[in-house]
Amino acid sequence: MSLHAMAPHGHDQHADHRPVFTGARRAELDELLTRYPTKMAALLPALWMLQQDRGWVSPDGMAEVARELDLTPAYVKGVVTFYTMYHQHPVGRHFVQVCTTTPCNVCGAEDVVNAFLRETKCGELGVTSPDGRFTVIEVECLGACGFATPVMVNDAMIECVSVDAVKDLLAGLD
């Protein structure tokens, strides 16, 4: 039995996985490695690159990151699951994070998150809308408490989102 066959499911790269770290990404990773005395320290940035290119952190992608940084796939998965921002499943084209922690909560953030669930037709937190456009989640403190309710749509932060503003905000997204 080959080593490949022994590897548990998802712990090795499938033949159809397109490598992330080629070309410009390869150069970017190589430059990144010069910033730290260990390869392991480049793990979070490497996972960010993977997610940026593929939309999520797939098992095959994690295996590639592990190989690049001389880590084991299980170790990489252990780190990925610690952090909330790595998507372990594909998400909608627009990933919407609504802050509902106390400072925003007292300003009505729960109504805002409900408006997003209603208007996107996601219905439920973490569930992607039937048209694949949206995934809405509640997020813990976005660090913009003076601008309640802050909402992140992918990498964009939108301040002071009110229930009334939700419909127009969504209409501006493809």
Partner 1 sequence: MGYPHPSHPRETPVLSKYFGDAAARTLTGWQARGGYETLREALATDPVEVQNVVKDSGLRGRGGAGFPTGVKWSFMKPDGKTHYLCINADESEPGTFKDRELMRWTPHQLVEGTAIAAHAIYAETAYIYIRGEYTEPIARVSEAVREAYAAGILGANAMGSGKRVDVHVHKGAGAYICGEETALMNSLEGRRGNPRIKPPFPAVAGLFAKPTTINNVETVCAATHVLRNGAEWYKSLSNPANPKSTGTKLFSVCGNVARPGNYEVGMGFSMKEFLWDLCGGPPAGRTFKAIIPGGSSVPILTPEECEGAVMDYEGIQAAGSLLGSGGVICFDDSQDMVRQIARLARFYAHESCAQCTQCREGTAWTTKILERIRDGQGTMKDLDTLLEIADNMTGKTICVLSDSCATPVVSGLKKFRHEFEARIPKNRSSVMIPAFSPAAA
In the 8-state DSSP scheme, what is residue 148?
Answer: S
Cβ 119 to partner 1 shortest distance, Å = 23
Considering all CA atoms of the chain, what is the largest pairwise distance in Å, rounded to the nearest integer? 61
- Among residues 44, 74, 111, 123, which is the contact residue for partner 1, using CB under 8 A? 44
Is residue 102 a contact point for partner 1 (CB under 8 A)?
yes
| 82 binding partner 1? (CB under 8 A) | yes
Which 3 state secondary structure label does DSSP give 38?
A: coil
Binding mask 114-153 for partner 1 (x = CB under 8 A): -------------------------xxxxxxxxxx---x-
DSSP for 53-95 reads HHSS--HHHHHHHHHHTT--HHHHHHHHTT-SSS-SS---SEE
Of 45, 158, 162, 169, the one binding partner 1 by CB under 8 A: 45
Give the nearer residue to partner 1 in terms of CB position, either 7 or 85.
Answer: 85
53 binds partner 1 (CB under 8 A): no
The answer to whether 62 and 14 are in contact (CB under 8 A) is no
Rounded Cα–Cα distance for residues 22 and 71 (Å): 19
Binding of partner 1 by 47 (CB under 8 A): yes
